[in-house]
């Protein structure tokens, strides 16, 4: 298998990157449980196995993705055998001294081959070079593959936002300090 190259995306790459299928499939989702009592609020998430695999639409439209790139501090792309196969979009203005990963996509035929992990590790390196203190990931609670990858790479749960995305999905946030 050819070696993967991670490099900054050029504006001429955007049209190809925008065509990557951002949707996914899953057999698991993370369900939120809340309880409110006097003097106590409890929120928890648990993995639930679904009766069948479901298709998950990406929470951002094609136009929102492309518009978001204009605000990004950096877009790194993965190239395999001369073809773009994925990218990560990073914003450094959403939280103080933090790199915020707003989009991460790998073409469907190249998923589960370590490309997403390589992109995230490259994003961490990008953020470290800029003296940022941590990296934050945002993802849908339905995106079990992204959640598992975050945990595998040592990210820790740091919060959520109910109805965060335009489609009213819950966003889960994971962070990792940078050295």
Q: What is the pLDDT of residues 78-101, one digit of tens each?
A: 999 999 999 999 999 878 899 999
Structural domain contains residue 70: yes
Q: How many domains does the chain have?
A: 1
Q: Which DSSP helix (H) or strand (E) runs through 15?
A: helix 14-18
User: How far apart are the C-alpha atoms of 177 and 167, rounded to whole Å?
Assistant: 30
pLDDT of residue 6: 97
Phi and psi at residue 70, in whole multiples of 5°?
Answer: -65, -25
Domain of residue 18: give its range. 5-23+58-177
Structural domain contains residue 106: yes
Segments of the chain with pLDDT less than 70: 1-2
User: How far apart are the C-alpha atoms of 124 and 166, rounded to whole Å?
Assistant: 27
Structural domain contains residue 47: no
Token pair, residue 43, equals 């929120």
Q: How many helices (H) and strands (E) does the chain have?
A: 4, 9
CATH, residue 124: 3.40.630.30
pLDDT of residue 2: 61
pTM: 0.90
């Amino acid at each position: 298998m050819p070696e993967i190259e991670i490099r900054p995306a050029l504006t001429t790459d955007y049209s190809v990157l925008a065509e990557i299928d951002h949707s996914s499939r899953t057999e698991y989702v993370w369900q939120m449980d809340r309880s409110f009592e006097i003097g106590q609020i409890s929120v928890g998430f648990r993995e639930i196995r679904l009766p069948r695999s479901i298709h998950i639409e990406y929470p951002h439209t094609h136009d929102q993705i492309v518009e978001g790139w204009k605000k990004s501090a950096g877009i790194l792309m993965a190239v395999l055998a001369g073809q773009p196969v994925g990218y990560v979009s990073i914003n450094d203005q959403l939280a103080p001294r933090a790199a915020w990963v707003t989009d991460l996509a790998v073409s469907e035929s190249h998923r589960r081959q370590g490309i997403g992990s390589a992109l995230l590790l490259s994003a961490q390196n990008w953020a470290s070079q800029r003296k940022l203190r941590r990296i934050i990931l945002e993802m849908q609670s339905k995106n079990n593959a992204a959640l598992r990858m975050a945990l595998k790479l040592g990210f820790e749960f740091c919060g959520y936002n109910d109805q965060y995305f335009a489609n009213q999905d819950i966003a889960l946030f994971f962070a990792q300090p940078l050295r």
